Chain A
Amino acid sequence: MPVIDVHTHMISAAFLDRAIAEGRPHYVRSRTKAGLDVITYDGAPYMTLTPPMFDYDLRIRDMDAAGVDVAIVSVSGPTYWGSPETSAAAIRLQNDDMASGQAAHPTRIRFLASLPWQYPALAVEELKRAADKGAVGVMVLANILGRHLTDAELAPVWQEVDRRKLPVLVHPTAPPGVNELGFDVYNLTASIGFMLDTTAAVTRMIFDGFLDRHPNLKIIAAHAGATLPYLAGRLDICFETMPPAREKISVRPSEYLKRIWYDAVTYQEESLALCIKVGGADKVMYGSDYPHNIGDMTGILARVDALPADRREAVRGANAARLFAL
């Protein structure tokens, strides 16, 4: 079974330049004392830029070395900033760049559309355009400038995504409250903050009834569901014993955790196994987080390959081939 990487990143230099120019004061790009090219969000380190993020040929070489056949690339960097016009224009550049990557490497690259979610009407337009150019799914960050993914204003975008049957990678960014959380030290945004962002977004989708309103929506919870598989039992007991957790849903949260998908971006075999246990072997897909500094095509693939035979094939690529209709 070919290996399909559903969580792997590229960013266009032109898009990034505009993001940095217009993303102030939140986003700032600078060089650290250690010589790293980093972006900070509200003063807290947010992402470290690495050369393969910009270079498809280099990526293909690294994929060859790791034994990864297809990469479904997406943008993890600063996406929501600027005026309606500048934001939409920059995101067009970004999606066009990925479409070119796909055209240049048709057997190796697919891409997820980035959208200006903060401007829902423009997001719907860009979704149509990106899908026409070959996007096989959509990327959304787990909060849109502090706004919840369940907010009513975003419903038109979700409806269009739903209508087109496109899977959505829910990927973290810095959670709201970075300053209060004291994430400016030890890269706590990366180790803990991102996990909080995804966990909060998907948990809210569950308790809010969002997944009932969009029963066919294919949500992928990044980083092996962040922490959701570990908290599944807690979500259930909250549902059972706290009326506010039952306001909008009538089945246990763990049932919803079987309706969503997961990538395999976790760094220990026990977490991968727990994710499969909670989500189901048909719901977990290989992902690497390459070329982030903690991305690891080889290590994560080795963990997937160590799974029992039937699960291995599903997680390596069969689930992704089915979900993305590749």
Chain B
Amino acid sequence: MTTPSIDVHTHMLNKQWFELLRQHGKPRYEVKRSLDYPAPEGIHLDGAPFMTPQEGHFDYEERIRRMDEAKVDLAIVSLTCPNVYWGGEAISLEAAKIVNDDMARAQKQYPDRIRWIASLPWEYPTAAVNELKRSVAQGAVGVMVLASINGASLTEERFAPVWKAIDDLALPVLVHPTAPPGTPSMDMRQYNLIASIGFMFDTSLCFARMFFDGFFDRYPNMKLIASHAGGTLPYLAGRLEICFENMVACRTKTQRPPSEYLRHIYYDSVTFTPEALAMAIKVGGADHVLYGSDYPHNIGDMKGCLARVDALPDAQRKAVRGENAKRIFKI
């Protein structure tokens, strides 16, 4: 029997969340007409196209149909950027509750097909920890965090209480990119550069900082999933290693080389060439890569990403299709 396929990187939004963002996202986030046909409206960041909701983002029935077509058995859905990091404490918490409640409902409606990971108001640690507990009670199997929180690094001290609560509950975390800090200076308004390369650097920088910062020494059991096959980390593994070996500044907080951490973290398979997927597996290990699709984003591709996974050698295929996800999400 084929191993069931479990999609760990797949998104759902919610109309109420979208309306709340429309009302409270400014000045940074603005909902307006997008060039990204066919969606009528896109979320813009500092005026640049940033995230374009598709109809599939709001429709669980449609999702299940598409999963059937693509032969995806289970989806672990999550919100996406800009998540709930806008609008101040009350709005951020309200946005998280709206989305988490909606996902919990969907899981009840489709118990064999849907699991979900919680969004949290990370900027308000007490509220975040409470919402984490509430979400887990409702069935959340993991947590989503963006790779930078309004420019702040995830290693900042103020987020420690949230990390501690997640660690205590032994929940996996999908680290998902947003526009990286420095986006305005880098001028990524044109050509959707935020999507093509900005997101990849947000994830890469987040994890490189965690490695050198000793984050995983503080949380040795934390299971973090680096989105999009690790951003660019697998290709840069050797570079991180030689920086660690030859630069004192890379060894101030940890004695362990980046290659150990690269073997410690997890990766989804949201990459678009077989070579990149093979490299993520080589660097992270076949037991640390998990099928993901990025559906229903415009570049999301349930079938294509699954076909690349199915083309892997036997032992790797089973692990990446679903066994790894089953193990770490305890499904």
Which positions in A face B, CB cutoff 8 Å?
32, 34, 36, 45, 48, 146, 148, 175-182, 185-188, 190-192, 195-196, 199-200, 203-204, 207-208, 223, 227, 229-238, 241-245, 247-248, 266-268, 270-271, 274, 277-278, 293-294, 296
Contacts and interface: CB of A to CB of B under 8 A. Distances in A.
B249 A177 contact: no
B181 A227 contact: no
Contact of B196 (A195, A238, A277, A296): A238
Interface residues of B, number: 60
A109 B177 CA distance: 44
B181 A243 contact: no
B275 A180 contact: no
A182 B299 contact: no
Given A188-B209, A195-B239, A234-B271, A227 B200 contact: yes
B182 A200 contact: no
B49 interface: yes
A32 B247 CA distance: 12
A241 B298 contact: yes
B197 A200 contact: yes
Chain A residues touching B, majority SS? helix
Nearest to B182: A177
Nearest to B251: A186
A241 B247 contact: no
B182 A181 contact: yes
Contact of B272 (A204, A233, A268): A233
B102 interface: no
Contacts of A175: 182, 186
B190, B196, B232, B236, most chain A CB atoms within 10 A: B196
B243 A234 contact: no
A278 B272 CA distance: 13
Interface string B266-287: 0000011101100100110000
B296 to A, nearest CB: 11
Interface in B66-115: none
Given A234-B272, A274-B235, A293 B186 contact: no
A181 B299 contact: no
B204 interface: yes
Interface of B: 35-37, 49, 151, 153, 180-188, 190-193, 195-197, 200-201, 204-205, 208-209, 212-213, 228, 232, 234-243, 246-250, 252-253, 271-273, 275-276, 279, 282-283, 298-299, 301
Contacts of A192: 201, 204-205, 208, 236
Given A242-B192, A244-B190, A231 B249 contact: no
Contacts of A278: 275
A45 B249 CA distance: 9
Contacts of B181: 177, 180-182
B249 A243 contact: no
A175 B180 CA distance: 12
Nearest to B301: A237
Given A186-B250, A192-B201, A267 B182 contact: no
B250 A267 contact: no
A294 B246 contact: yes
Given A231-B196, A267-B239, 7 more contacts: A181-B182, A196-B205, A199-B232, A230-B279, A233-B276, A237-B272, A267-B241
Nearest to B247: A187
Nearest to A293: B246
